[in-house]
Amino acid sequence: MGVARKITNYLLRKGIGILKINVFVARSTQKLNPINLSDYFDFRSINNQVLNDISVIRGKKKHLQLQRILDKGAYGVSIYAENELAAYGWIGLNKEENKRRIFTSYAIPQNSAHIFECYTVEKFRGQKLYPAIVFKLTEWAKKHHADDVYIDTIAGNLAAEKGIIKLGFHYISLQTKLLVFSKIIFEYDNKR
């Protein structure tokens, strides 16, 4: 990664700069392409033990943020390699019109779901864990009668975009936001 990219990423983590987000959707009528993992990996619902493991890898601040997400009713799933956390992701259902938003400007329709906060531990990257998490969360949404499932990724995260498209999600929007100290000063939604 080049110096300019590192500086840009650092500023974005601090809430300063231009953030571009790609939004994708899978319709409930779509059959997604399954991802098969080796028997070395197993899925677990996110609970307090998984949150503790996340805390070890991502820190106490992330643990507290995810605890609030769990308390609000989001569902999370994780992948373990033996007893080591390898990846995790979250999904939330929108039961009320325009309540759930993706980065504030893109309101997902009522009775839809949004996949967010997916993370793969660095040493497990490149093993298709991200699309496996997304597929598992999409299955959960369909069991809970969600009409559509939305997911977003930072524009330029080619690995994530490739995994999402390979599963069968379709690109629908590019969100552009100008951030200053984590406040959105300007935003534009370029729908497809």
Q: pTM for the full model?
A: 0.84
Asked if residue 92 is part of any domain, the answer here is yes
Position 23 scores a pLDDT of 86
- Round the average pLDDT of the chain to a whole number and report it: 84
* Alpha carbons 9 and 5: distance in angstroms, whole number: 6
Structural domain including 28 reads 15-191
First-to-last C-alpha distance (Å) of the chain:
30
Is there a domain that residue 5 lies in?
no
Contact 35, 132 (CB under 8 A): yes
pLDDT digits 0-9 by tens, 135-152: 999 999 999 999 899 998
Distance of CA 29 to the CA centre of its chain: 21
Name the CA radius of gyration of the chain, rounded.
16
Asked if residue 81 is part of any domain, the answer here is yes
- Alpha-carbon distance of 86 to 125, in angstroms, equals 9
The confidence band for 52, taking pLDDT boundaries of 50, 70 and 90, is: very high
Q: What is the pLDDT of residues 74-116, one digit of tens each?
A: 899 999 998 999 999 999 888 775 455 555 556 778 888 999 9
Contact, 138 vs 32, CB < 8 A? yes
The mean pLDDT of 175-181, rounded to a whole number, is 78
Domain CATH code at residue 44: 3.40.630.30
Rounded to 5°, angle at Cα 116 from 7 and 109:
125
Domain membership of residue 147 (yes or no) is yes
In a domain, 27, yes or no: yes
Residues 6+ apart with CB under 8 A from 116: 89, 90, 91, 92, 102, 151, 152
| Residue 113 covered by a domain | yes
Under 8 Å CB-to-CB from 143, ≥6 apart: which residues? none
Residue 176 lies in a domain: yes
How many domains does the chain divide into? 1
Chain length of the chain: 192
